Structure 1
Amino acid sequence: MTKNVNFKKWLTFVVLVIGGGTVFKLSSLKDAFYVPMQEFMGLTHTQIGAALSVYGLVQTIGNFASIYLSDRFSKRIMISGSLVGIGIIGIYISTFPPYMGILVAWGLLSLFGEVLYWPVLLKAIRLLGTDKEQGRLFGFLEAGRGVVDTIVAFSALGIFALLGKGSAALRGAILFYSAVVIIIGVVSYIMLEDDKVKAADGEKVNKNKLAFDGVIQAIKMPEIWVVSLTIASIYSVYCGLTYFIPFLKDVYGMPVTLVGAYGIINQYGLKMVGGPVGGMLVDKKFGSATKFLRVALVVAAVAMFVFTLLPHESLNVYAGMACTLGFGAIIFSMRAVFFAPIDEIRVPRNISGAAMSIACIFGYCPQMFAFTLYGSILDKHPGFAGYKMVFYLMIGFAILGIVITTLLLKMIKKRQALVDAE
């Protein structure tokens, strides 16, 4: 019986991971097809940036609604419906719609992916395991997403090359992304179970009231807000990883042929390394995601400071790549588990969705300002001086994270003492 339960749990986990690795491929179309989007869809840098801004705006506003929605409706419906919806939007994008259509499409991709899907996926992952398994579950979620990301991205690139690298090839790659996400949506509907909602004393279940009560309960937990700030500090450092690519190109003279490969490793490959390492360290070594995050933030701050002192002008490009990828691995080990503290603060499982939504709102909010902040610094201060300022900012965010995780550990200790005393 136990073997059957474990098999079903891990099979469900695999389905969730595959969904998590495909859901954002269309909204991240620029990662692999930035130049083809300009050439064949007629989009400028500003227009692509505006589409991403619409995406972020919908995500931020929509996540307030997801505090309620993620616990109101079954994860089976939310996850499968969101995936199929994203696939349908992808089919529309493959028609190369006008600019306004692009803005609407990216807004809808954010609605289905960030608002309706992502908090529910995190909730589903949390509910799969015990408090002793949270690190490895979230760690292997990130690692698994990295594997799926890489396979799907390279498959799309292969289709693009096979079809001649023209407009039809871009359309074929987009349709490939769409087909994959729709198939996973159908599989998710078949494999996942509906949430079982219970009311006290045999009362009739009022899902609206239960969901609303859960929202109020989650909002009143200060620990959830501190976890959100922890995520935000780490995500602010994570945003800086994007600028390692132009840094290596401008300062180290990285050849254009290496840029694409480095970008894929930097954004996808590191998930496969950092995810399981972070997860296993949390569960096996530290016994606490928050303790691990504090130590990792200290390591990140020191590593980045040392990096700023290196003689970059005399190092070769492969040394620069190794240093930046090593730092990236540290950040990805934290990204993999920065939602795990939700379990440490003893959030009731029936409000997991609301808690994850709050964490998403404020944890991911740096994407609204960090890229603009880092980019404006580089525009105003060309050369290594600008990059050095960006790196110092990343150190500052890491130090802020150390302060926040120290506060969170005190709050966790206090809450656990109260629970033990009851």
Structure 2
Amino acid sequence: MSAIAPEKTTKSIDWSKWIRFALLVMAGGTIYKLSNLKDAFYVPMQEAMGLSHTEIGTLLSVNSIVATALFVVGGYLADRFSTRVLIPLGLVGCGALGLFLSTFPGFNTLLVVFALLAVCSDCLVWPALLKSIRQLGGSKEQGRLFGLLEGGRGVVDTAVAFSALGIFVWLGSGVGGFRAAIAFYAVLDIAVGVLLFLLLRNQTSENPTPRKHKAGLAEIWRAAKLPQLWWVSFMVYVVYCGLTYFIPYLTYVYGLPVALVGAYGIINQYGLKILGGPIGGVLVDKVFKGASRYIRLGFLCLIPVVAVLLLLPADPGSQIPAMIVTLLFSLIIFTMRGVFWAPMDEVGIPEETSGTAFGIACLVGYAPGMFAFIVYGSILDANPGAAGYHIVFIVLAALALVGALVSSGLVRVAQARRAAVEVPSNSWT
């Protein structure tokens, strides 16, 4: 009888772990829908709100500037307060802002709304969510957990975005449909926030977060002393920002209709997370035995894909090849995005200050959002037609090369730490 009890306990702990994981995936899959309307509704944003490429880029940049300024604050809050409070509060706040956004306020008001969306999502929710994911598994599970987070978010993202696109098309693919799609995102955020507040309560009370250390200036400085870790995430994200422009590229250069491009945008930005996140996680844990080495290879693989994209004729006859090549590029990015937080364990960041560390990682890693969309959008406005998009794609290839070089530095840091850990073990034996 005594031998059976531990098995039951283990099963109970596993169920609790995966229930918490599923709830966190729900939060991660809904929190950014409103600030990333451009993923499925880039062209409707231009038409219904009267926005240029540069103005959309400005909204995204303002959102990212505020997020970047508050990431460390969010990490500090994640080390101090319960996820049961932070995550639902951020979701409900985003939902309230979304209901206002559906009234189509003027551009200056939109700047304020996108700034406040960053406060709710990037300060209150994201660092707390990343810390919660890291605490769910040991060092050998980090790649899989973060990969499954990205894949799970892809499932939620895809289902939610296709539902919003269905509403948009059902109501005529016009201004009314776009307004209803925004309201749908907003109501869903509020509903998920309330659900998480109710269901996370028992989980957090049964498995409280250790409080051996509270984040202070010493912990912030300790977490900041590994620039390779932060710059790898920076390079992944600056290239990821370029995926946004595959949507207008296929619309204006290859002539895809708005509804079809909307479906492509959902697959490109969300659906590929379903494949990319888990694939990246398995490759990191089972094949490469480290996230940094895989990320280096991923950057190198992007360069020939861009070369093929540039060689394709810019005419409607190449619609399908263009869609396939851009989706391949996006898939590689999502395998990298799914694991670009996993090196946190490789370089020895302590778990009790991981909220602060994730805040710093987000501060640097998501910083490209402050300028990349404005830069890419300005290039497109200054170079109409296929030429502007080709310039953007060349920039992405150059950034991928830089990313591979930065990743090599992180590989060396991880190898040095691994050797330092193994030496005492070998000398003991």
Q: TM-score, normalised by structure 1?
A: 0.88
Contact kept, 8 Å, 1:224 with 1:359, in 2: the verdict is no
- Measure, in 2, the Cα distance between the counterparts of 1:362 and 1:412: 19
Q: Secondary structure at the match of 2:139?
A: coil
Equivalent position amino acid for 1:126 in 2: R
Q: Does residue 261 in structure 1 map to residue 274 in structure 2?
A: no
Partner of 1:102: 110
Q: Secondary structure at the match of 1:113?
A: helix
Contact kept, 8 Å, 1:218 with 1:224, in 2: the verdict is no
- Measure, in 2, the Cα distance between the counterparts of 1:166 and 1:160: 7
**131-140 or 46-55, which deviates more:** 46-55
Partner of 2:61: 53
Deviation at residue 406 of structure 1 after TM alignment: 1.0
Equivalent position amino acid for 2:209 in 1: K
Contact kept, 8 Å, 1:136 with 1:283, in 2: the verdict is yes
| Compared CA separation, residues 160 and 253, structure 1 to 2 (3 A) | closer
| Compared CA separation, residues 198 and 70, structure 1 to 2 (3 A) | closer
Write the mapping of 1:211-360 to structure 2, written as runs, cut at 5 A.
Answer: 211-212=215-216, 215-221=217-223, 224-310=226-312, 316-360=318-362
- Measure, in 2, the Cα distance between the counterparts of 1:172 and 1:309: 40
Deviation at residue 123 of structure 1 after TM alignment: 1.0
Which aligned segments of 4 or more residues in structure 1 are displaced greater than 6 angstroms? none
**247-256 or 404-413, which deviates more:** 247-256
Deviation at residue 163 of structure 1 after TM alignment: 5.0
| Compared CA separation, residues 44 and 350, structure 1 to 2 (3 A) | same
Unaligned segments of structure 1, at least 5 residues: 200-206
- Measure, in 1, the Cα distance between the counterparts of 2:312 and 2:112: 45
How many pairs does the alignment contain?
410
**90-99 or 272-281, which deviates more:** 90-99
Equivalent position amino acid for 1:186 in 2: V
Deviation at residue 133 of structure 1 after TM alignment: 1.2
1:113-150 deviation per Cα after TM superposition (whole angstroms, max 9, x unaligned): 01111111111111111111111111111111111112
Q: TM-score, normalised by structure 2?
A: 0.86
| Compared CA separation, residues 175 and 239, structure 1 to 2 (3 A) | closer
Equivalent position amino acid for 2:371 in 1: F
Partner of 1:63: 71
Contact kept, 8 Å, 2:162 with 2:266, in 1: the verdict is no
Equivalent position amino acid for 1:102 in 2: L
Contact kept, 8 Å, 1:224 with 1:358, in 2: the verdict is no
Partner of 2:388: 386
Q: Does residue 130 in structure 1 map to residue 143 in structure 2?
A: no
- Measure, in 1, the Cα distance between the counterparts of 2:221 and 2:148: 29
- Measure, in 1, the Cα distance between the counterparts of 2:316 and 2:51: 36
- Measure, in 2, the Cα distance between the counterparts of 1:417 and 1:244: 43
**150-159 or 42-51, which deviates more:** 42-51
Q: Secondary structure at the match of 1:132?
A: helix
**152-161 or 402-411, which deviates more:** 152-161
| Compared CA separation, residues 188 and 161, structure 1 to 2 (3 A) | same
Partner of 1:113: 121
1:156-187 deviation per Cα after TM superposition (whole angstroms, max 9, x unaligned): 23334445666665554333222221222122
- Measure, in 2, the Cα distance between the counterparts of 1:171 and 1:370: 27
Deviation at residue 310 of structure 1 after TM alignment: 4.8
Partner of 1:91: 99
1:332-363 deviation per Cα after TM superposition (whole angstroms, max 9, x unaligned): 11111111111111110001111111111111
Unaligned segments of structure 2, at least 5 residues: 1-8, 425-429
| Compared CA separation, residues 322 and 189, structure 1 to 2 (3 A) | same
| Compared CA separation, residues 315 and 30, structure 1 to 2 (3 A) | closer
Partner of 1:2: 10
**301-310 or 136-145, which deviates more:** 301-310
Q: Does residue 75 in structure 1 map to residue 83 in structure 2?
A: yes
RMSD: 2.6
- Measure, in 1, the Cα distance between the counterparts of 2:330 and 2:108: 36
- Measure, in 2, the Cα distance between the counterparts of 1:14 and 1:109: 23
Partner of 1:404: 406
Q: Percent identity?
A: 48
Write the mapping of 1:171-186 to structure 2, written as runs, cut at 5 A.
Answer: 171-186=179-194
Contact kept, 8 Å, 1:89 with 1:105, in 2: the verdict is yes
- Measure, in 2, the Cα distance between the counterparts of 1:164 and 1:254: 18
Partner of 2:6: none
Partner of 1:198: 211
Write the mapping of 1:13-52 to structure 2, written as runs, cut at 5 A.
Answer: 13-34=21-42, 43-45=50-52, 48-52=56-60
Deviation at residue 53 of structure 1 after TM alignment: 3.3
